Structure 1
Amino acid sequence: MLKTHHGSCHCGAVKFEADIDLAAGTGKCNCSICTKKRNWSAQIKPDAFRLLTDPAGCGDYQFGSNSAHHIFCKTCGVSPFGHGYVEEIGGAYYSVSIACLDDLTPAEMAALPVQYMDGADNLWWNPPAVTAHL
């Protein structure tokens, strides 16, 4: 079910709202940045995302193909969302960090469906052999 969720970084300098159907699934990837950040996210289309604070408080990190913007709070360093364009996944997207959604309880998070992706080997549509660390 589509629901408007509210989220933020740790210090609250970056706040957003996003329309997400969490029952449709969330994702964890084993690529280099997702592994280091222990990223757990839900992808949505850009029109389902609204930044509620001044974008000047956000930093932007890119690497590799520069197709993804890894956004982080300049104050606390937490990465509440990212965005980019990848044709293979439907074009423009926003990726919202599940851990930064302020209106989910731990029990609700634990019940969410998770899809694992092998980004380390560029086999995004397949789960990696080992997922326990993700």
Structure 2
Amino acid sequence: MVDDTNVRAGQCHCGAVRFEATLSDGFNSILRCTCSYCRMRGAVVVMAEMGGIKILQGEDALTTYRFHTGAAQHFFCSRCGIYTHHQRRSNQNSYAVNVACLGGVSPFDFPEVPVTDGVNHTSDTGKPTRRAGTLRFIPAAD
């Protein structure tokens, strides 16, 4: 059972899209990916199960993008362009949520973020998901 600390309010930059995300395992599933799209957008994400994203406002402002196999559906605000979440290719019953869109959370809150090998995606190779490395944030000394 998911407790209330796993329910987070989120929104895009301009506020047109507002949503609620029920995180599957809190922030324990945080990651980045090396696939061509994730690499370019640079988002740090956390997981929510199917039904774990509830659009509260602005569903009409959301637009989608699909590439390669078309299995992953990436959602972003058509007004400000911010990526909010996507339905995952490797697990169609799961969403990845942009942590930067969650209230009170920043990607820089996490000193280490695992990076998965999306270039050699498990759906293409048939092999288990491989960890490509770790993204580290080291705050500057005052």
Scaled to the shorter chain, the TM-score interval is: 0.7 to 0.9
Aligned to 1:116: 115
Aligned to 2:68: 64
Instruction: Tell me which amino acid in the other structure corresponds to 1:117.
Output: T
Aligned length: 128
Aligned to 2:105: 104
Query: Which of the numbers 19, 27, 36 marks the counterpart of 1:16?
Result: 19
More strand by share: 2
Aligned to 1:50: 54
Percent identity (aligned): 26
1:128 has 2:127 as partner: no
The 3-state SS of whatever aligns with 2:15 is coil
Cα RMSD for the two superposed structures: 2.6
Stretches of 4+ aligned residues off by more than 3 angstroms:
129-132
Check 1:130–1:96 CA distance in 2 against 1; reply closer, same or farther (3 A cut).
closer
The 3-state SS of whatever aligns with 1:121 is coil
Instruction: Tell whether the 8 Å contact from 1:25 to 1:115 is kept in structure 2 after alignment.
Output: no
Check 1:61–1:93 CA distance in 2 against 1; reply closer, same or farther (3 A cut).
same
* CA–CA separation in structure 2 for the residues paired with 1:9 and 1:80: 6
Unaligned runs of 5+ in 1: none
Higher relative contact order (CA 8 A, sep 6+): 1
Instruction: Tell me which amino acid in the other structure corresponds to 1:103.
Output: G
Check 1:24–1:11 CA distance in 2 against 1; reply closer, same or farther (3 A cut).
same
The 3-state SS of whatever aligns with 1:45 is strand
Query: Which of the numbers 25, 30, 35 marks the counterpart of 1:26?
Result: 30
The 3-state SS of whatever aligns with 2:132 is coil
Displacement after TM superposition at 1:93 (Å): 1.6
Check 1:114–1:22 CA distance in 2 against 1; reply closer, same or farther (3 A cut).
farther
TM normalised by structure 1 equals: 0.81
* CA–CA separation in structure 2 for the residues paired with 1:27 and 1:10: 21
| Superimposed CA distance per residue, residues 39-83 of structure 1 (whole angstroms, 9 cap, x where no aligned partner) | 211121122211111311011111111101111101100001112
